[in-house]
């Protein structure tokens, strides 16, 4: 009886070990599926088009961006904005734009369902089509002494790629990856694209002459990363930046 009891105890322990092993395998499989799903969503949010950065860098890229800056970069390239141009939008936006003048120096157009949260002589803030700080747009200007955009950004003598790299380190939540840069047609302005785990941004910088003053003008458009492609939102944000014009 003692020997049989001992064998029964061994069999029960082995059975419990098998069940625990099966549970551990199921947990690991679930974690792997979650990682694959997150990767697929990120790829979907950034795979709309490609642009090649040909501007030479003055030094090697940072280690966390070597893969991004190796050649072809994902970057959406919408055309310049036109007031009233309709886009497919599941949130019910009519497709119309409203033009605003900022600092009496430049104009920018916002979708007509974006609400003004703050309006000052040198700065305007809008709430996008969703609530929350990550869905706010900003257009602002400040007086500077520098006579070039590179100097005004504190990056005189640097290439556009190096400027984008350094600007990306200053983005919210500990910095972003620099995805690309594009010059706007007809104005001396550049659109930079940045993305991190929480937010995706198009940011425009321009140096504008206003009388005897020089103004560093900035337009910030953004959305949470998972909403970037939802309802063609990245196209809408690109059209906002593309609407930049001198007042």
pLDDT digits 0-9 by tens, 63-119: 334 333 332 233 333 333 333 333 344 355 668 999 999 999 999 999 999 999 999
Residues 177/203, Cβ–Cβ less than 8 Å: no
Under 8 Å CB-to-CB from 113, ≥6 apart: which residues? 91, 92, 93, 94, 129
Q: What is the mean pLDDT of the chain?
A: 74
**Cα–Cα distance list, 170 to 173, 177, 181, 192 (Å):** 9, 11, 16, 13
Lowest mean pLDDT among 72-86, 194-208, 226-240: 72-86
Q: Which two tokens stand for residue 6?
A: 């001992």
Provide the pLDDT for residue 56: 37
Res 48 pLDDT > 50: no
Residues 168/176, Cβ–Cβ less than 8 Å: yes
| Pairing label, strands 123-127, 136-144 | antiparallel
Res 130 pLDDT > 80: yes
Lowest mean pLDDT among 56-60, 93-97, 172-176, 189-193: 56-60
Provide the pLDDT for residue 18: 41
């Amino acid at each position: 009886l003692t020997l049989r009891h001992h064998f029964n105890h061994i069999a029960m322990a082995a059975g419990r070990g098998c069940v625990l092993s099966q549970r551990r395998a199921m947990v690991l499989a679930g974690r792997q599926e979650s990682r694959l799903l997150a990767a697929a969503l990120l790829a979907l949010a950034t795979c709309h088009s490609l642009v090649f950065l040909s501007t030479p860098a003055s030094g090697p890229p940072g280690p966390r961006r070597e893969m991004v800056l190796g050649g072809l970069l994902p970057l959406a390239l919408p055309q310049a904005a036109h007031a009233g141009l309709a886009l497919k939008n599941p949130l019910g936006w009519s497709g119309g734009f409203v033009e605003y003048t900022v600092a009496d120096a430049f104009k920018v157009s916002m979708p007509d369902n974006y609400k003004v949260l703050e309006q000052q002589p040198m700065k305007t803030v809008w709430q996008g089509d969703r609530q929350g700080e990550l869905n706010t747009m900003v257009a602002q200007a400040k007086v500077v002494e520098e006579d070039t955009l590179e100097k005004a950004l504190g990056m005189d003598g640097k290439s556009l790629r190096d400027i984008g790299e350094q600007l990306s380190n200053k983005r919210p939540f500990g910095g972003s990856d620099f995805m690309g840069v594009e010059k706007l047609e007809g104005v001396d302005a550049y659109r930079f694209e940045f993305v991190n785990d929480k937010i995706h941004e198009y940011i425009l910088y321009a140096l504008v002459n206003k009388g005897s003053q020089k103004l560093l003008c900035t337009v910030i458009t953004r959305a949470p990363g998972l909403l970037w492609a939802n309802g063609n939102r990245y196209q809408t944000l690109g059209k906002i930046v593309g609407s930049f014009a001198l007042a």
